[in-house]
Amino acid sequence: MTAKPAPTDIDIHELFSGRWSPRAFSDQPVDRAQLHQVLEAARWAPSSSNLQPWRFLVFDRQRHAAEFQRAYDTLMPGNKAWNVTVPVLICVTATTVTPKGDPAKTAAYDTGAAAMALVLQAHALGLATHQMGGFDRDAFRSAFSIPSDIQIIAVIALGHFGDVDKLDDTLREREAAPRARKPLGESAFEGAWNRAFE
């Protein structure tokens, strides 16, 4: 299953409505040029004072199998189950201190923008991504000697769409389930807190 368009209430660009987070990935390697493209898209994300606090740690199973395995080992069991064939994992991190030594108050926000740019570029290339919060951040920090001033935010699975029938029953059901979001009025307010945007 490569297409799973969002049932939006209002038309939006396919880049947004068509992007979704599959769990069925093939083991086909990601072309190095495409990997450069998704990282380049992230590089051009906006950031406060142009500080660009994001740092992406890339693990390409084909090029660095041992390092990939160490990153994979930090995933929670539920995520390990469907990442067995994923060719690339990307850890999303942010520097939490500015060059002047002040707290980088918008670092996570800016890094989220860069991560979104990455996954949208991947979608535009026909690649699949799935962003995960389910991993052991302490184990990851230890495994890769991540400095203490770096916030470890997420891991992105990146690759080609795979065969849904190879997933177990539970994951196959989740893969086929309809996409859903809260109504707009629950997340967008107008003029006052909790006054739904109409």
Give the pLDDT confidence of 4-56 residue by residue, as tens digits.
Answer: 999 999 999 999 999 999 999 999 999 999 999 999 999 999 999 999 999 99
What is the rounded CA–CA span in Å between residue 172 and residue 140? 28
User: Is 117 in contact with 45 (CB distance < 8 Å)?
Assistant: yes
% of the chain exceeding 90 in pLDDT: 91
User: Is 45 in contact with 110 (CB distance < 8 Å)?
Assistant: yes
Whole-prediction pTM value?
A: 0.95
How would residue 116 be classed by pLDDT, with cut points 50, 70 and 90? very high
Amino acid identity for residue 57 in this structure: L
Of 56, 151, 145, 140, which Cα lies nearest the Cα of 97?
151
Kindly report, residue by residue over 146-177, the tens digit of the pLDDT. Answer: 999 999 999 999 999 999 999 999 999 999 89
Is residue 3 over pLDDT 90?
A: no
Domain 14-165 listed as CATH 3.30.420.40: no
Q: How far is CA 112 from the centre of its chain?
A: 9
